[in-house]
Amino acid sequence: MSEERGRARDFGIPLTGEPGEWNAITDVPGVQVGYVTLVEGDDVRTGVTALLPRGRDGVGTPCAAGWHSMNGNGEMTGTAWLEESGSLAVPVLVTNTYAVGPVHRGVVEWVRRHRRDMAPEWLLPVVTETWDGYLHDIHGAHVTPAHAGAAIDAAAGGPVAEGNVGGGTGMRLYGFKGGSGTASRVVRYGAEKYTVGVFVQANFGARRELVVAGTPLGRAAASYDNREGAESGGSPGGPDSGSPAGGERPEGGGSPVDRTGAAGGAGAAGFGGSVDPERPVPPGAGSVIVVVATDAPLLPGQCKALARRVPLGLARTGTTGSHFSGDLFLAFSTANPGALTSTFPPRPAAGGEAGGAGDDAPYETLRFIPWGRVDPFHTAVVEAVEEAVLNVLTAAAPMTGRDGHHVPAFPLAALAGLPRARTD
Catalytic residues: 287, 325, 327
- Distance of alpha carbon 309 from alpha carbon 298, whole angstroms: 15
CB 156 within 8 A of CB 172: no
3-state secondary structure of 34: strand
- Distance of alpha carbon 47 from alpha carbon 101, whole angstroms: 14
- Distance of alpha carbon 292 from alpha carbon 381, whole angstroms: 7
In our burial notation (b when 16+ CB lie closer than 10 A, e otherwise), range 191-218 reads eeebbbbbbbbbbbbbbbbbbbbebebb
- Distance of alpha carbon 330 from alpha carbon 321, whole angstroms: 18
Give me the amino acid identity at 332.
F
Task: Looking at 218-347, list the stretches that DSSP marks H as alpha helix, in order from N- to C-terminal side.
Answer: 218-227, 300-316
Side-by-side strand order, sheet with 179-189:
87-88, 63-72, 326-333, 284-294, 192-205, 179-189
- Distance of alpha carbon 415 from alpha carbon 378, whole angstroms: 28
Task: Give CA angle at 258 (254, 259), nearest 5°.
Answer: 120
- Distance of alpha carbon 410 from alpha carbon 252, whole angstroms: 10
Kindly report the backbone phi and psi dihedral angles of residue 288, in degrees, each rounded to the nearest multiple of 5, phi listed first: -145, 135
CB 128 within 8 A of CB 77: yes
User: 234 to each of 237, 238, 338, 407, 411, how far by Cα in Å?
Assistant: 9, 11, 57, 12, 14
CB 205 within 8 A of CB 173: yes
